[in-house]
């Protein structure tokens, strides 16, 4: 079995480890050094594995499409190949088509729809691509349900590999040692980290002087965000850490934080927050990734009015005022995440799609 990926970030390390344990010597990865988003790069752990071969990615049209330089014949002859469900990877098209003709098994892995939904302009291309596959692997139950409703007679099987970050052993509520606020994610415009900084500036005089804002992540907005913090005079209250992948380092940051914030669209950071037992403050009307299905308002977090710094500021203060109520939910939040979003569960779903 071959897994083809444009890039595999370090948050996939635990998942890859579990998959390699399932398939052993029957597992190969061909992966490029980075994704369409240049801040997403392939982890050293993945590149160092004996089953991994790094290939060259060629990006065209300002990173809108990609072609991978793959060992064409090797990919054609293998029993099963797992492709990304992304029509912008041009090199996948001829491989999938020829493999379909010669009776080889193609598995497509990714989101059921593009970020713009089932009615996007690329849906026809995605539909054609799906028709070249034997089975489909989605990230959430909701995606599978939506797809089966739209295409009830899809000939291949549909499977779920819940988008997970950590092994069961690492999913547990960490003890609280502070009242800080935490953001973890890429520093890009769509994540609206500037909104969080502005909201924190509005709230800073209303909260304890020991409460700080921690920002974890890299991206093209980093310099502008540092400048904004300086402009607002918050250098002593806002701390930037850059990219942090080590689980123990992340746990140390979560220990000092009462809750996390997603000021823009929600991504994988929501399951990370829940894995460590922390509730999340989430924008109510953003184009969220499917991982938003893990969120339940007033159970494992709260909504704030998207794009509204004043409302976000009010909710930051509210979270801190309700500290005891949220701390009492830490263990339940982590336990729910362990049941639904472990890398063991993700790897088993992946294996089901490959073996079908």
Calculate the alpha carbon distances from 149 to 26, 84, 112, 115, 141 in Å. Answer: 34, 22, 12, 19, 12
Domains of the chain by start residue, with CATH: 2-164+342-355 (3.40.50.2000), 168-340 (3.40.50.2000)
CA gap 352, 158 in Å, rounded: 10
**What is the per-residue DSSP string for 97-134?**
HHHHHTT-EEEEES-SSBTTBTTSTTHHHHHHHHHT-S
At residue 156, the pLDDT reads 74
Q: What is the dihedral of CA 206, 209, 210, 213, to 10 degrees?
A: 60
What is residue 304's three-state secondary structure? strand
At residue 118, the pLDDT reads 73
At residue 176, the pLDDT reads 97
What is residue 103's three-state secondary structure? coil
Q: Which of 139, 109, 118, 120 is nearest to 1 (CA)?
A: 109
DSSP 114: B
Query: In this structure, what token pair is assigned to residue 141?
Result: 């139950």
**What is the per-residue DSSP string for 167-222?**
-GGG-SPPPP---EEEEES--SGGGTHHHHHHHHHHHGGGS-TT--EEEE---TTH
- Contact by Cβ (8 Å): 9, 33: no
Q: What is the pLDDT along the chain (356 residues), one digit of tens a residue?
A: 999 999 999 999 999 999 999 999 999 999 999 999 888 899 999 999 999 999 999 999 999 999 999 999 999 999 999 999 999 999 999 999 999 999 999 999 998 888 777 778 888 999 999 999 999 999 988 889 989 888 887 777 899 999 999 999 999 999 999 999 999 999 999 999 999 999 999 999 999 999 999 999 999 999 999 999 999 999 999 999 999 988 899 999 999 999 999 999 998 899 999 999 999 999 998 888 888 989 999 999 999 999 999 999 999 999 999 999 999 999 999 999 999 999 999 999 999 999 98
At residue 350, the pLDDT reads 97
CA gap 201, 189 in Å, rounded: 19
Q: Which of 218, 176, 219 is nearest to 320 (CA)?
A: 176
Query: In this structure, what token pair is assigned to residue 235?
Result: 């250098």
Going across the sheet that includes 280-283, the strands are 238-242, 213-216, 180-184, 257-262, 280-283, 301-304
- Contact by Cβ (8 Å): 319, 313: no
Q: If phi over 0 gives left and psi between -120 and 50 gives alpha, with beta otherwise, what is residue 217? A: left
Calculate the alpha carbon distances from 131 to 4, 95, 106, 136 in Å. Answer: 18, 14, 10, 10
pTM, two decimals, is 0.89
CA gap 313, 163 in Å, rounded: 30
Q: At 59, phi and psi to the nearest 5?
A: -100, 140
- Contact by Cβ (8 Å): 270, 291: yes
């Amino acid at each position: 079995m071959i897994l083809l990926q444009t890039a595999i970030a370090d948050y996939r390390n635990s998942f890859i480890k579990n998959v390699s344990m399932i398939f052993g010597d029957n597992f190969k990865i061909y992966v490029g050094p980075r994704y369409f988003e240049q801040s997403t790069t392939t982890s050293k752990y993945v590149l160092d594995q004996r089953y991994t071969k790094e290939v060259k990615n060629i990006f065209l049209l300002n990173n809108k499409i990609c072609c991978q330089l793959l060992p064409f014949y090797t990919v054609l002859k293998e029993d099963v190949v797992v492709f990304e469900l992304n029509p912008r990877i041009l090199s996948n098209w001829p491989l999938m088509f020829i493999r379909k003709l010669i009776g080889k098994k193609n598995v497509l892995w990714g989101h059921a729809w593009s970020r713009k939904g089932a009615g996007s302009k690329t849906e026809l291309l995605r539909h054609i691509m799906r028709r070249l596959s034997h089975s489909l692997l989605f990230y959430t139950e909701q995606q599978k349900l939506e797809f089966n409703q739209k295409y009830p007679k899809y000939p291949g099987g549909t499977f779920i590999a819940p988008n997970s970050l950590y092994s069961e052993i690492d999913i547990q509520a960490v003890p609280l040692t502070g009242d800080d606020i935490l953001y973890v994610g890429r520093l890009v415009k769509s994540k609206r980290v500037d909104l969080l900084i502005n909201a924190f500036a509005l709230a800073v005089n209303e909260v304890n002087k020991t409460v700080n804002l921690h920002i974890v992540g890299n991206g093209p907005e980093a310099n502008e965000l540092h400048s904004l913090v300086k402009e607002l005079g918050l250098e002593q209250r806002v701390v930037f850490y850059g990219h942090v992948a080590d689980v123990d380092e992340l746990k140390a940051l979560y220990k000092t934080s009462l809750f996390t914030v997603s000021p823009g669209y929600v991504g994988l950071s929501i399951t990370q927050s829940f894995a460590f037992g922390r509730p999340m403050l989430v924008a109510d009307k953003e184009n969220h990734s499917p991982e938003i299905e893990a969120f339940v308002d007033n159970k494992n977090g709260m909504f704030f009015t998207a794009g509204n710094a004043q409302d976000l500021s009010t909710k930051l203060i509210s979270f801190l005022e309700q500290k005891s109520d949220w701390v009492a939910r830490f263990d339940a939040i982590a336990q729910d995440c362990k049941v639904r979003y472990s890398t063991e569960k993700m790897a088993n779903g992946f294996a089901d799609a490959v073996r079908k």
